[in-house]
Structure 1
């Protein structure tokens, strides 16, 4: 009998700790939905900044610019870029003057950008610049020159 009481009291204590922990986890999850923990960075070549700032002013933030570029090109990525069979990731050239842009993207947009970049064998920043370049050239009416550059 004594053993049953001891185990049942232990169970009650553990249960109350589990309840406390589950409440802490639930609080953390609700906070993480509201705001990402840390900002993400995109490194953009200096030559692409005028078009990017134009798009940022149009969509009010880099977060919405990323969303626009992904949505605009989502159904035609396979026709724009070839799937990479390489195991190594292709990064931007080292001699480019890169400027850092920090922002808090939507988790779904960032995951889509990362997944697409991996599929095509390029870095996240490089893939974003490719989308931005395609958008810029498309606005000028020269999508062919974009495809020749990559």
Structure 2
């Protein structure tokens, strides 16, 4: 803000407003924002900006190169605030380890999916907020089918 970069200030203010809205609309509006809420909100902000940037991409009707560049710089700025997520290979290795530790007859039971996902979240700890939940669920399902 001190550098007077209007684009960066605007993006950061928008994210702060989004985090505030997410907290106020939650079950506990008087508590501070959790790490997971902040990371999720930043990811959503990045996704919104990526979709908008696609509309302004070079070669699309109404070529707006300045808007495209601004959105890409905002994406880079917001991405710099995200912690480094575990690689998909690391997540898969944890899932494979958990599945391998289960008895053979238990692996065939579909209800064990929740046990594996719970074990994954426990092993990831704070990095849990950085993992795509849908991708993790698909990986667990695939690992149990194998």
Could you state the TM-score of these two structures normalised by the residue count of structure 1? Answer: 0.22
Higher helix share: 2
Structure of higher CA gyration radius: 1
Q: Which has the higher contact order (CA 8 A, sep 6+)?
A: 1
